[in-house]
Amino acid sequence: MISEERNESQRQRVPERTCLGCRKREAQFRLVRLVLSEGAVKPQEDDRRTGRGAYIHPQEACLERLLRNRKSLRRAFRVEGGEVSVKALSDLLEEIRTRSGSDPRGENGEKKRTGGNKRVRL
C-alpha cells in the first residue's frame, strides 16, 4: 500500500492550459502558445517562454472563435485596449485549413481574405 501511494505522489503531472477559443482545458503540449510581441499576437516560434502567453488549439474552429471574441485576447494579455495585429493568427488559420484539406481559396481561385495585415481593436 505504501509503495502505491508513493508511486502516485511521484508521478509527474502534465501541465494543463485553457484554450482561448473553446475554453476547454487541455495538456499544454497539445496547444499552441501565443505571445504578444511588438503589438502583434503571434504563435511562439522558439522554446523560450518569456513574457505573458496564452494557449489555443491548433484547430480552425478555435482560431475562428478567438478572432471573433477579442475580449479573451485582451484578458489573456492584460491589454487595456488599443490595437493588436492578428495577421500571424490569420496565417496560422490558413495553414491549418490547408493541412486539413479545406481549401482556403474562393470559388474563382482567389485567396480568401483571412485578416491580411488588419489590426483589430481590443
pLDDT per residue as tens digits for the range 32-62: 888 887 777 888 877 776 778 899 998 889 9
Residue at grid coordinates 493588436:
84
**pLDDT, average across residues 4-22:** 78
pTM above 0.75, yes or no: no
Q: Any idea which of 14-18, 78-82, 110-114 has the lowest mean pLDDT?
A: 110-114
The better pLDDT of the pair 12, 56 is held by 56
Best mean pLDDT range from 14-23, 34-43, 111-120: 14-23
Please list the residues that pair with 36 across neighbouring strands: 41
- Domains by residue range for the chain, with CATH: 2-121 (3.30.1230.10)
The pLDDT of residue 9: 53
Report the phi/psi class of residue 45: left, alpha or beta, with left for phi > 0 and alpha for psi in -120 to 50. Answer: alpha
The pLDDT of residue 11: 66
What are residue 119's phi and psi, to 5 degrees? -115, 140
Indicate if the pLDDT at residue 114 is higher than 70. no
Alpha-carbon distance of 116 to 88, in angstroms, equals 9
Best mean pLDDT range from 1-15, 55-69, 103-117: 55-69
